[in-house]
Amino acid sequence: MIIRGYPALGQLTGPQAASWPHDRLEELLEQRGRELLRQMLQAHLDLRAAGERRAAERARAAGAGTVGADGVRRHRLESGHHRLLATVFGTVAVSRCAWRAPGACNLYPADEQLSLAGRHSHGLARLAAVEAVRGSFDDARASITARCGDVVGKRALLQLVRRAAADIDAFDASVRPVPRTADELLVLSTDQKGVVMRPEALRPATAQAAARHSRTLRTRLAAGEKPARKRMAALGAVYDAEPAPRRPHDVIAVPGGRHGDRTVRPGPHATGKWLCGSVIAEPGEVITRVFDQAQARDPAHARTWVVLVDGARHQLDLIRAEAARRRVTVHIVIDFVHVIEKLWAAAWDLHHPGDPAAEDWVHAHATALLAGNTDQVTTALNAQAAALGEHHRHKIDACVRYLAGHAAFLRYDQALRAGWPIATGVIEGAVRHIVADRLDISGARWGLAGAEAVLKLRTVVANGTFPDYWRFHLKQEHQRVHHARYQDEYNLTA
């Protein structure tokens, strides 16, 4: 079998191929098969170009022309205009006709019919987006080259990824959540993670701090010094959950461990998870998007809204302000894991490093907090701290201030009885997966547009909506590139 002088299958029937191992046969078929597909695509494009030329000649003979969105009629027809298109099979040439008029840009009807939107095909753009959110851009380009040949450079790859993420916000706003019952919990959560950026991509305050920063040591940071090179990426999560009432001992074992055969009651199970994020937008904008998603799931405010946070003051202020603006009642719960970490830090003011008694001390106070006895715990900690010198009680004092300052959000007894979640595992896992596993890889320094595109694409992939998003994106891309150039989708006029 030969296509345009190219042997596609003949080499497999020769005597030399009879001695090849299967891996070499696979390699041959992969390379030759890709070239065969490229030639088939090229042949189809040439066939369409010939048909377009014949139709355009008939239209011109009849005195027809075309009107663009600028209202200018174009009567002059030229054939033989070419453009290259890099595809997943290799690069092909697209031949098409141009309708022209003095002082007006050319119109190419074939470009609209093929939905061409640049040097690279939509299939290649999708592959670039998928590969770039998995690993580094170098690895993504290497993977694409191994599969498709040398069809895209690193700079073009970054541009394709940026363009691929252009419609994510519009897509999220267009999706209508599945209706839920009023008994199900509606859980909201937000968090932030620093991303190492290039100097020009830092927020103004961070850039100023970096500019005036003078290191004590020449070759490394001294204790307490920060490099001032990160920009905070904000993430938000919304999910549904059936209430799952529990008791304190279902959450944490009593000192000495559990005894007996009583089954531990599981906590609420998250379903319908939805994530969003941005490294460009301020945290308040991301929180607004989180509330928009929650509002779409419960427009009548008939469900119980639970907000899980880590206790950052600015975050709490933004959440309460957004809830007040929407006139919705939210139940804010501080992540119990953060509280336990505060207790562990305080424990080392009272115990020697590695002392097993510290574990029982932490568990006893944690159980009291789960039972709703926050005031009792802070009183006990103050009493224990009083026996320490001023220079040996910093961590226990910090724990007391944290518990006292957030007491209104530590009503774990009410949360457990009502079956609410009390840990931010969903958003913490999202931060690790979406931000840390990709944007925080060793040696990475991000530009603003690239970081934003990768972050948003990873949220779409994590939401499981990438196939739906891509179809939406292609429609939007076609609208932007072609419908804005043609009047009534390419009208021929006499």
Do 372 and 305 have their domain in common?
A: no
Q: Is 387 within the bounds of a domain?
A: yes
> Which residues are within 8 A (CB) of 294 and not within 5 positions of it... i.e. 6 or more apart?
186, 188, 238, 305
Q: Is 157 within the bounds of a domain?
A: yes
* Span 57-76, pLDDT tens digits: 888 888 777 887 778 888 88
CA distance to 240, 282, 385, per residue, from 420 (Å): 11, 28, 33
* Span 452-493, pLDDT tens digits: 999 999 999 999 999 999 999 999 999 888 876 665 444 544
**Please, how many CA atoms are within 13 Å of residue 156, restricted to the half-sphere of its CB?**
14
Do 372 and 310 have their domain in common?
A: no
pLDDT at 490: 47
pLDDT at 90: 94
Average the pLDDT over 344-355 and give the result: 89
pLDDT at 5: 45
Whether 210 has a pLDDT exceeding 60, the answer reads: yes
* Lowest pLDDT segment from 53-62, 262-271, 416-425: 53-62
Q: Which of 90, 85, 83, 59 is nearest to 73 (CA)?
A: 59
* Lowest pLDDT segment from 4-18, 340-354, 387-401: 4-18
Average the pLDDT over 123-140 and give the result: 95
The last residue of a domain, from among 360, 388, 422:
422
Angle subtended by helix axes 374-386 and 336-350, to nearest 10: 20
Do 459 and 476 have their domain in common?
A: no
Whether 2 has a pLDDT exceeding 70, the answer reads: no
The Cα–Cα gap between 145 and 450 comes to 21
pLDDT at 228: 66
Integer Rg of the chain from CA:
31
Q: Is 418 within the bounds of a domain?
A: yes
Instruction: Tell me phi and psi for residue 96, to 5 degrees.
Output: -150, 170
The beta-strand segments (E) located in 88-243 are: 90-100, 185-196, 230-241
* Lowest pLDDT segment from 107-116, 255-264, 297-306, 403-412: 255-264
- Decide: 278 and 460 in contact? Cβ < 8 Å: no
Per-residue tokens: 4: 């345009």
In terms of pTM, does the model score above 0.75? Answer: yes
Element (H, E) at 154: helix 154-164
pLDDT at 311: 86
Q: What is the DSSP letter of 330?
A: E
Do 365 and 315 have their domain in common?
A: no
Instruction: Tell me phi and psi for residue 185, to 5 degrees.
Output: -75, 145
The Cα–Cα gap between 423 and 362 comes to 17
pLDDT at 494: 41
CATH code of the domain in which 445 resides: 3.30.420
* Span 387-424, pLDDT tens digits: 887 777 889 999 999 999 999 999 999 999 999 999 99
pLDDT at 178: 86
Q: Is 220 within the bounds of a domain?
A: no
Per-residue tokens: 372: 């709703």
Average the pLDDT over 306-328 and give the result: 95
Q: Is 233 within the bounds of a domain?
A: yes
Determine the structural domain holding residue 440 and report its residue range. Answer: 178-211+226-256+266-334+431-464
pLDDT at 379: 93
* Lowest pLDDT segment from 29-33, 149-153, 322-326: 29-33
Q: Is 150 within the bounds of a domain?
A: yes
pLDDT at 74: 86
* Lowest pLDDT segment from 78-82, 220-224, 295-299, 480-484: 220-224
Q: Is 355 within the bounds of a domain?
A: yes
pLDDT at 486: 61
The Cα–Cα gap between 405 and 202 comes to 32
Do 101 and 244 have their domain in common?
A: no
Do 318 and 452 have their domain in common?
A: yes
Which position has the higher pLDDT, 117 or 290? 290
> Which residues are within 8 A (CB) of 35 and not within 5 positions of it... i.e. 6 or more apart?
6, 8, 89, 90
Give the three-class secondary structure for 440.
Answer: coil
Do 457 and 317 have their domain in common?
A: yes
Which position has the higher pLDDT, 63 or 218? 63
Do 233 and 314 have their domain in common?
A: yes
What residues does 73 pair with on adjacent strands?
67
* Span 426-457, pLDDT tens digits: 999 999 999 999 998 888 899 999 999 999 99
Instruction: Tell me phi and psi for residue 154, to 5 degrees.
Output: -65, -40
Exposure class string for 165-182: b at 16+ Cβ within 10 A, else e:
bebbeebbeeeeeeebee
Q: Would you list the DSSP string of 355-367?
A: -THHHHHHHHHHH
The last residue of a domain, from among 422, 453, 477:
422
> Which residues are within 8 A (CB) of 387 and not within 5 positions of it... i.e. 6 or more apart?
none
User: How many separate domains does the chain show?
Assistant: 3
- Decide: 23 and 81 in contact? Cβ < 8 Å: no
Whole-number average pLDDT of the chain: 88
Do 290 and 412 have their domain in common?
A: no
Do 143 and 52 have their domain in common?
A: yes
Give the three-class secondary structure for 81.
Answer: strand
Which residue in this structure is represented by tokens 């937000």? 190
Whether 219 has a pLDDT exceeding 50, the answer reads: yes
Q: Is 412 within the bounds of a domain?
A: yes
Do 330 and 341 have their domain in common?
A: no
- Decide: 83 and 94 in contact? Cβ < 8 Å: yes
Do 243 and 300 have their domain in common?
A: yes
pLDDT at 471: 97
Q: What is the DSSP letter of 476?
A: H
Confidence label for 260 from pLDDT (cuts 50, 70 and 90) = low
The Cα–Cα gap between 446 and 460 comes to 20
